[in-house]
């Protein structure tokens, strides 16, 4: 009889055990631009190193509306992925459907409650149990610029107010370049609009208007001034901006075709992926009027109930990996965001990230820390979608007057 060596037997046992514990994780996300894809590839590497199979379910479309549509059809057909990029109040809605897995065992073993700001941890729970894992903290109210373009146009410094911004934009236009790189998609219009509301009205007004959806704030003179400022910005974008993807707008700044872009710091991921150096090839600053405020956007993965033990084990490993220090560092270095896990060493992070991290802490104390309405952090998805449409219609159609837009905003905010 063929004598199997002890070593071969041991190897077979280990392989067998590993194979039994190895599972497949299908992950739905919308990170398909250069910087985004590089970032999510790090999670794939970690899971493959653990012996799991990574099934990449990427749905292109910045801001995630396309991904949300595809996810709904998968869940309705009873075939959800292991994990999906879901964040903010939408987590509560999905959990309310009874389709999300309970992650408390992993959360307890990994001590998540002690590793997260309470506000973030609470957002990941449904009725006190974890159902999602946070990935990062993005700052939405960032402005990006090409220093060469500013120099060519005679703009001495990054504008801190809208008066300074429009003066700089006029100089860039006069120099024959695009002052404001913009992608004409509804979520990008909304991103710019929330920057304007924050810059014109301040954090308390932003909270009253776009978080509390207070009709008095939505109907106020400050909102009127916000819409007027928002429309004035349109005149500094280029005619080809309609439908442009956000990362192509970032590329316009990168290539020196445009001076500024208002975009969350995932735009930094594009500059870094192209080998650009912050402070030298591109500049970052708070959007005009918002240096004392911080609109946060915490990406997260909600975990869906799965049938097989192997898949559940792989899902638990995925959850633990996302909150691990290794992933928190390498992912956020590529993504342009900062780690959501507390007490991480930011030595490898650049000055834009260090500014974001400092401001995150300072604004949490000052009241300047606000959930991003445009990125699913502030209001229920139905109201967010309705407001996004009103804002985009105003941006696209000069025939929509400011009073009309304000009236539409009030009714959109009431959408259940
Ligand atoms: C945001 C998302 C970011 C980034 C951006 C562009 O909603 O939170 O991680 O991907 O969309 O797609």
Q: Are residues 83 and 181 in the same domain?
A: no
Q: Are residues 196 and 281 in the same domain?
A: yes
Mean pLDDT of the chain: 95
Q: For residues 163 and 166, give the distance between their C-alpha atoms in angstroms, rounded to a whole number.
A: 5
pLDDT digit string (tens) for 149-190? Answer: 999 999 999 999 999 999 999 999 999 999 999 999 999 999
Atom of ligand 1 nearest to the CA of 376: 7
pLDDT of residue 184: 97
Average pLDDT on 268-288 reads: 98
pLDDT digit string (tens) for 32-91? Answer: 999 999 999 999 999 999 999 999 999 999 999 999 999 999 999 999 999 999 999 999
CA of 229 to the centre of ligand 1 (A): 25
pLDDT band at 7 (very low <50, low <70, confident <90, very high): low
Q: Are residues 149 and 73 in the same domain?
A: no
Q: Are residues 287 and 207 in the same domain?
A: yes
Closest C-alpha to 287, from 222, 226, 207 = 226
Q: Are residues 291 and 302 in the same domain?
A: no
Pick the last residue of a domain from 306, 330, 354. 354
SS3 string of 188-232?
Answer: HHHHHHHHHHHHHHHHHHHHHHHHCCCHHHHCCHHHHHHHHHHHH
- With a pLDDT cut of 70, the percent of the chain lying above it is 95
Residue 113 has pLDDT above 50, yes or no: yes
Q: Are residues 344 and 305 in the same domain?
A: yes
Q: Does residue 316 sit within a domain? A: yes
Q: Does residue 35 sit within a domain? A: yes
Q: Are residues 292 and 247 in the same domain?
A: yes
Q: Does residue 185 sit within a domain? A: yes
Q: For residues 116 and 118, give the distance between their C-alpha atoms in angstroms, rounded to a whole number.
A: 6
Residue 408 lies in domain: 142-296+370-413
Task: Please report how the helices 221-234 and 381-396 are oriented relative to each other, as an axis angle in degrees rounded to 10.
Answer: 60
Atom of ligand 1 nearest to the CA of 375: 7
Average pLDDT on 334-341 reads: 98
Q: Are residues 11 and 62 in the same domain?
A: yes
CA of 358 to the centre of ligand 1 (A): 21
pLDDT digit string (tens) for 207-252? Answer: 999 999 999 999 999 999 999 999 999 999 999 999 999 999 999 9
Q: How many residues does the chain have?
A: 416
Closest C-alpha to 371, from 139, 215, 186 = 139
CA of 56 to the centre of ligand 1 (A): 17
Residue 9 has pLDDT above 90, yes or no: no
pLDDT band at 22 (very low <50, low <70, confident <90, very high): confident
Residue 323 has pLDDT above 70, yes or no: yes
Q: Is the CB of 266 under 6 A from ligand 1?
A: yes
Q: For residues 200 and 161, give the distance between their C-alpha atoms in angstroms, rounded to a whole number.
A: 9
pLDDT digit string (tens) for 369-402? Answer: 999 999 999 999 999 999 999 999 999 999 999 9
Average pLDDT on 322-346 reads: 97
Nearest-CA residue for ligand 1 atom 2 is: 63
Phi, psi of 306 (to 5 degrees): -120, 160
Q: For residues 116 and 342, give the distance between their C-alpha atoms in angstroms, rounded to a whole number.
A: 6
Q: Are residues 39 and 88 in the same domain?
A: yes
Residue the block writes with tokens 């729970």: 125
Q: Is the CB of 299 under 6 A from ligand 1?
A: yes
pLDDT band at 1 (very low <50, low <70, confident <90, very high): very low
pLDDT of residue 2: 47
Q: Does residue 41 sit within a domain? A: yes
- Residue 28 maps to which CATH number? 3.40.190.10
Q: How many CB atoms lie within 10 A of CB 87?
A: 22
Q: Are residues 197 and 151 in the same domain?
A: yes
Q: Are residues 232 and 374 in the same domain?
A: yes
pLDDT band at 292 (very low <50, low <70, confident <90, very high): very high
Q: Does residue 362 sit within a domain? A: no
DSSP secondary-structure letter at 102?
A: P
Q: Does residue 359 sit within a domain? A: no
Q: Is the CB of 62 under 6 A from ligand 1?
A: yes
Q: Does residue 1 sit within a domain? A: no
Question: How many structural domains compose the chain?
Answer: 2
Nearest-CA residue for ligand 1 atom 8 is: 299
Atom of ligand 1 nearest to the CA of 264: 5
Q: Does residue 365 sit within a domain? A: no
pLDDT of residue 14: 54
Burial of 245 (0-12, 13-18, 19+ CB in 10 A): middle
Q: For residues 159 and 286, give the distance between their C-alpha atoms in angstroms, rounded to a whole number.
A: 9
In angstroms, the Cα distances linking 172 to 153, 159, 196, 352 are: 5, 13, 20, 24
Q: How many CB atoms lie within 10 A of CB 402?
A: 16
Q: Are residues 181 and 262 in the same domain?
A: yes
pLDDT of residue 362: 95
């Amino acid at each position: 009889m063929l004598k199997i060596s002890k070593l071969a037997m041991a190897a077979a046992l280990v392989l067998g055990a590993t194979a039994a514990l190895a599972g497949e994780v299908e992950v739905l996300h919308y990170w398909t631009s250069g910087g985004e894809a590089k970032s999510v590839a790090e999670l794939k590497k970690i899971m493959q190193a653990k012996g799991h199979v990574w099934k990449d379910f990427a749905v292109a479309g910045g801001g995630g509306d396309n991904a949300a549509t595809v996810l709904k059809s998968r869940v309705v057909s009873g075939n959800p992925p292991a994990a999906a990029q879901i964040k903010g109040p939408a987590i509560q809605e999905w959990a309310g459907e009874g389709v999300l897995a309970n992650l408390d065992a992993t959360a307890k073993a990994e001590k998540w409650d002690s590793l997260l700001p309470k506000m973030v941890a609470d957002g990941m729970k449904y009725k006190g149990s974890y159902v999602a894992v946070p990935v990062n903290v993005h700052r939405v109210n960032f402005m990006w610029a090409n220093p060469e373009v500013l120099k060519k146009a005679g703009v001495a410094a990054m504008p801190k107010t809208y008066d300074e911004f429009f003066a700089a934009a006029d100089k860039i236009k006069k120099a024959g370049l695009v002052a404001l790189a913009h992608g004409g998609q509804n979520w990008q219009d909304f991103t710019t609009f929330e920057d304007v509301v924050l810059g014109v009205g301040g954090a308390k007004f932003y909270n009253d208007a776009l978080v509390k959806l207070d009709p008095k704030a939505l109907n106020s003179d400050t909102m009127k001034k916000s819409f007027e400022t928002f429309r004035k910005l349109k005149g500094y974008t280029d005619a080809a901006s309609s439908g442009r993807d956000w990362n192509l707008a970032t590329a316009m700044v990168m290539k020196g075709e445009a001076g500024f872009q208002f975009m969350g710091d995932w735009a930094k991921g594009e500059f870094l992926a192209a080998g650009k150096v912050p402070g030298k090839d591109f500049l970052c600053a708070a959007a005009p009027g918002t240096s004392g405020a911080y609109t946060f956007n915490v990406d997260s993965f909600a975990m869906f109930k799965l049938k097989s033990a192997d898949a559940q084990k792989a899902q638990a490993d995925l959850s633990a990996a996302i909150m691990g220090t290794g992933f928190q560092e390498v992912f956020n270095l590529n993504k342009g965001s900062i780690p959501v896990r507390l007490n991480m060493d930011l030595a490898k992070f650049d000055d834009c990230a260090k500014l974001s991290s400092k401001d995150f802490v300072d604004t949490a104390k000052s009241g300047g820390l606000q959930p991003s309405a445009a990125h699913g952090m502030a209001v229920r998805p139905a109201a967010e979608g309705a407001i996004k449409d009103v804002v985009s219609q105003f941006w696209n159609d000069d025939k929509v007057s400011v009073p009309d837009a304000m009236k539409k905003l009030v009714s959109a905010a009431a959408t259940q």
